[in-house]
Structure 1
Amino acid sequence: MSHRRALILGALAASLCAPSTAFGLDEVNSKKLRDAVTVNGILQHERAFQAIANANDGTRASGTPGYEASIQYVKQRLVRAGYRVREQEFTFPFFRELAPAVASQVSPTPKDYTVDTFEYSGSGDVTAKLQAVRGITIPPPAEPGTTPAGCTAADFTGFTAGNIALIQRGTCDFGLKARNAKAAGAVGVIIFNEGQEGRTGLPAGTLGEPIDIPVVGMTFEDGAALYQQLQGAEVTMHITTSTEADLDATTKNLIADTREGNADETVVVGAHLDSVVEGPGINDNGSGSAGILEIAEAMSEQNIKPRRAVRFAFFGAEESGLLGSEHYVSTLPANQLGQIYANLNFDMIGSPNYVRFVYDGDGSDSEPAGPPGSGEIESIFTRYFASQGLASEPTEFSGRSDYGPFIAVGIPAGGLFTGAEGVKTPEQAAIYGGTAGEWYDPCYHQACDTMNHLNVNALNEMGDAAAHATLVLAKSRTGLFPDGSRKAARDKSKAKKFDLHSHAAR
């Protein structure tokens, strides 16, 4: 996700107990719950997730025994806390890399390259001429995500079937680029990074569905050099990938409901429980899962009686393209879908080089805005951080985590994020601490995403903010809109499309 300019919240908000006439929701005193939600409690769950990964080949990915053990751990805790708990099973296309990808230039100058296999790439061993598609832009445009290469069939005009396609990361998702290349007759695909700050290393991500040709990612430097070679010479490449895919693998969501509160206005508090295959996912997203599990247990222990029902949702297969949350939303009957009041999403809240990012629900800093009510949810977080004398800043709300399927059907949403593969700016380092020029999470989607790389200050601050927002939505006497209701006024909102893909989808 791309960072946005820092927003320094200098003035403290009024007392958290006092209502505000400028804000749809009256404030709720969350101190009791925040005091009960502790870093030690969150870390207790994180240690359990780490132990599960250690016992299961270092992963908690959906479709593996490590994920099933994670589900059973969370289920046991929530049943003990008194929640109504159910499992929701669904099928999904499972993917695993069996051996690292290999890429080398055969001619005119033999050279080996470091590449990564995209999720859902096919297995293959191909040697063919390399051909660049239309839309590659070197140097890259200033704004990330705006390079159009490979996004339309027209970009493959003149492409020779049997060649390997060279494509630049940019406007559309990786899967669309690869599918367009396959349709044009490519026998392999190299997608190199776009080239802006934070987009120079090996791109990582999902194709969203299996594609039966090798698809690998390459650094901007190597991809740009290959592109320059193609301007004056023929280049022959060799690519090898070794992967496993199961189109009908099974995994689960875990859903836990409070026993009190108005079910006609249910607040869904969600986080994805799965990791990538490559690692244990203790920050991504053990941190969000541990955080909302700690909030659920604290609400039970404090005997908090919500005005609105609260549903804690632990989604599977997020790392495969938001498949768990998409399944959950798409299978809800119309009457139950209409009962969802709002969605809160917590995906990575313990990044070691963190920033306090708040999803930009009102679209004031980035487009698009979320459905009506999302701006009010954003304000819950920004007002809370201001009351604590803490800075925060907006981050794009384009649908690239489990809130995506909710906002796609008009449900107000919001949440927190501490950063993934983006690079911390000097301005952010001056405000939040940490190291400028490094990723917010240097272990994002890697085997080193372990207990050793969590930031306990981030867990403390974001955990408290998550608890506060959960309680405000659960207990506020007023609603997200001036008449106190959850009227989404969908006919007044602009029609929007959202990319239903995980963090590094494009």
Structure 2
Amino acid sequence: MTGLPRRNLFRVAAPAFVAAGAVLALTAATVPGRAAASAPPADVLAEKMSRSVTGENAWRHLEALSRATAANGGHRADGSPGYEASAQYVTRTLTAAGYQVKRQEFSFPDYDILSEKASVTAPETRQLKPVIARFSVSTPVGGLTAGVAVPSGKPTGCTADDYAGTDVKGKIVLVDVDDCFITQKQIVASEVGAAAVLMNVNAPNPDLNLRYRMVPPEDARIPIATLSRGESEQLKADVAKGPVTVNVDLRGNNTTTKTYNLLADTPTGRADNTVVMGAHIDSVDTTPGMNDNGAASAMLLETAVKMAPEWKHLKNRVRFAWWAAEEKGISGSQYYVDQLSPEQRRQTALYLNLEMIASPNFARQVYNGRTSDGPGPAGSERISELINGHFAARKLPTVGLDLDGRSDHSPFVEAGIPSGGVNAGADTVKSPEWVKLFGGKAGEMLDPCYHQACDTLANVNRTIFDQNGRAMAWAAGRFGVDTSDINGTGTAVK
């Protein structure tokens, strides 16, 4: 899941939830074990897919991705051996199932990290562990040394007023996340004369650090990096006692990376009413990325494999997509959507997204068909109703999640294509209310290993992996037969 800059990294979503049976009246065919011969064809295939696609069956794909990642550098960042090895496994498996696999090649702006070092040089020396923001301005070789200042107003440093009465000229300012994007923080800091910015990620885990990025890159003004909450709080406490001097050596180069999406179409079904189902296969370069987003990639692969024997039942073409460069600005799915002609956009019935579907401290989140600004594309809320209905029939409560700008549904939403899907959670902190619904631990992130080295197979919650996988396989089968209640096209249910 991309670390797109956002106003509040740990905002807890609204606690409204869908209780079992509360979404819509369900036909008998939507209840496990009760599919009848007279059930609508869409429900029949949906239930069959939900029974055949399981977490146990998909686990072999996740293990294969884990082996490919571990043997090739330990991550799947675009352009890396880990990405290539993982994509080859997906391609081989799809080909064996009868699919023709297409590589959709593209290039995107990237950032090579040359140095991310820092140390306190006075009054007592110690090392820090900064993480440079992508597209940050670089310090000179060897770094820059300056005093540390903190805002006198709000600690987030989003406005010049936050620095009122504080001498920050030529200094390194220490600010907190929240309230505004990091791009704005470093613009404001540069305008009041600061030389660089360090930002406290303020995570529940005091040792966790995350990499942000400048959007747009051309707004980068001064060097900026993040520090863990533990390091930030210690540094701030030191500043409160007296002058503190820090050296930061933060350097990188803007570059271009070549990569590719993987696309596989069912050979049957209407090409002019295509259902697209996707997950990103890349990871950040600090993690094996088994939950983010290996689990979703593996489940998507198992869904495609299990759909192959059902091709004859499809009325609408299903396109399975493994996106590249989601972690680099959602570049892969954006490229895909940008290449669609106006006619091809109209012929895309809907998009189904799988993102971080196996988070260990999960919330059962279903994209709610809405954006932060209001309703999503027409049909999106109906997708949400149907997926929620699948869970409700199994007495599994859900909570809604906006169609935000943090995953591969975003380009489809912006293009006006109905979108939905599931997400078990990244850096949102679990509330006590959610613990009552889903279990787990309050006050911790839904995935405490988000973008960290501990995102291994041991980080994958196999219960929600199975539940989310079955739900999305159900959706693929349902919409592969009928999308009439989404876009008015594609075989109305009889």
2:3 matched to 1:3?
A: no
Q: Distance in 1 between matches of 2:346 and 2:162?
A: 41
Asked if 2 retains the 8 angstrom alpha-carbon contact of 1:360 and 1:369, the reply is no
Q: Which residue of 1 aligns with 2:4?
A: none
Asked if 1 retains the 8 angstrom alpha-carbon contact of 2:198 and 2:226, the reply is yes
The alignment partner of 2:297 has SS state of: helix
Q: Which residue of 2 aligns with 1:42?
A: 58
Letter in 2 for 1:86: K
Q: Which residue of 1 aligns with 2:200?
A: 192
**Alignment map for 1:52-67 (pairs within 5 Å):** 52-67=68-83
1:320-357 alpha-carbon deviations (Å, 9 max, x no partner)? 11111111112222222222111111011111121111
| 1:226 to 1:453, Cα distance in 2 relative to 1, 3 A | closer
Q: Distance in 2 between matches of 1:194 and 1:83?
A: 46
The alignment partner of 1:216 has SS state of: strand
Q: Which residue of 1 aligns with 2:7?
A: none
| 1:477 to 1:160, Cα distance in 2 relative to 1, 3 A | closer
How many pairs does the alignment contain?
A: 463
Shift of 1:175: 3.8
In structure 2, which of residues 437, 442, 446 is the aligned counterpart of residue 440 of structure 1?
446
The alignment partner of 1:381 has SS state of: helix
| 1:444 to 1:89, Cα distance in 2 relative to 1, 3 A | same
| 1:326 to 1:184, Cα distance in 2 relative to 1, 3 A | farther
Q: Distance in 1 between matches of 2:464 and 2:265?
A: 27
Q: Distance in 2 between matches of 1:200 and 1:415?
A: 31
Q: Distance in 2 between matches of 1:167 and 1:26?
A: 57
Asked if 1 retains the 8 angstrom alpha-carbon contact of 2:186 and 2:221, the reply is no
1:181-226 alpha-carbon deviations (Å, 9 max, x no partner)? 557764322122368x789954443335485854211345765676
In structure 1, which of residues 407, 413, 418 is the aligned counterpart of residue 419 of structure 2?
413
Letter in 2 for 1:4: A
Asked if 2 retains the 8 angstrom alpha-carbon contact of 1:91 and 1:250, the reply is yes
Q: Distance in 2 between matches of 1:477 and 1:319?
A: 30
Q: Which residue of 2 aligns with 1:265?
A: 273
2:482 matched to 1:459?
A: no
Gaps of 5+ in 2: 1-9, 32-39
> Given the two structures, how large is their TM-score scaled by the length of structure 1?
0.81
Asked if 1 retains the 8 angstrom alpha-carbon contact of 2:359 and 2:459, the reply is yes
Q: Distance in 1 between matches of 2:315 and 2:381?
A: 22
Asked if 1 retains the 8 angstrom alpha-carbon contact of 2:30 and 2:390, the reply is no
Letter in 2 for 1:102: A
1:13-49 alpha-carbon deviations (Å, 9 max, x no partner)? 5235379xxxxx9962322111221223211111111
Q: Which residue of 1 aligns with 2:402?
A: 396
Q: Percent identity?
A: 34
Structure (1/2) with the larger helix percentage: 2
Asked if 2 retains the 8 angstrom alpha-carbon contact of 1:104 and 1:110, the reply is yes
Shift of 1:131: 4.5
1:436-463 alpha-carbon deviations (Å, 9 max, x no partner)? 3322222111122111221111111000
Q: Distance in 2 between matches of 1:175 and 1:306?
A: 47
1:288-307 alpha-carbon deviations (Å, 9 max, x no partner)? 11111111111003335322
> Given the two structures, how large is their TM-score scaled by the length of structure 2?
0.83
Which moved further from structure 2: 61-70 or 117-126? 117-126
In structure 1, which of residues 472, 487, 492 is the aligned counterpart of residue 478 of structure 2?
472
Letter in 2 for 1:90: F
Which moved further from structure 2: 298-307 or 249-258? 298-307
In structure 2, which of residues 26, 29, 39 is the aligned counterpart of residue 14 of structure 1?
26
Asked if 2 retains the 8 angstrom alpha-carbon contact of 1:399 and 1:407, the reply is no
Shift of 1:389: 0.8
Letter in 2 for 1:393: V
In structure 1, which of residues 131, 137, 148 is the aligned counterpart of residue 154 of structure 2?
137
1:467-506 alpha-carbon deviations (Å, 9 max, x no partner)? 111222221262315xx259xxxxxxxxxxxxxxxxxxxx
Q: Which residue of 2 aligns with 1:429?
A: 435
**Alignment map for 1:177-326 (pairs within 5 Å):** 177-178=185-186, 181=189, 186-193=194-201, 202-208=209-215, 209=217, 214-220=223-229, 223=232, 235-241=244-250, 243=252, 245=253, 247-326=255-334
The alignment partner of 1:283 has SS state of: helix
2:33 matched to 1:33?
A: no
Which moved further from structure 2: 75-84 or 225-234? 225-234
In structure 2, which of residues 353, 369, 381 is the aligned counterpart of residue 361 of structure 1?
369
Q: Distance in 2 between matches of 1:283 and 1:381?
A: 21
Q: Which residue of 1 aligns with 2:130?
A: 115
Letter in 2 for 1:302: E
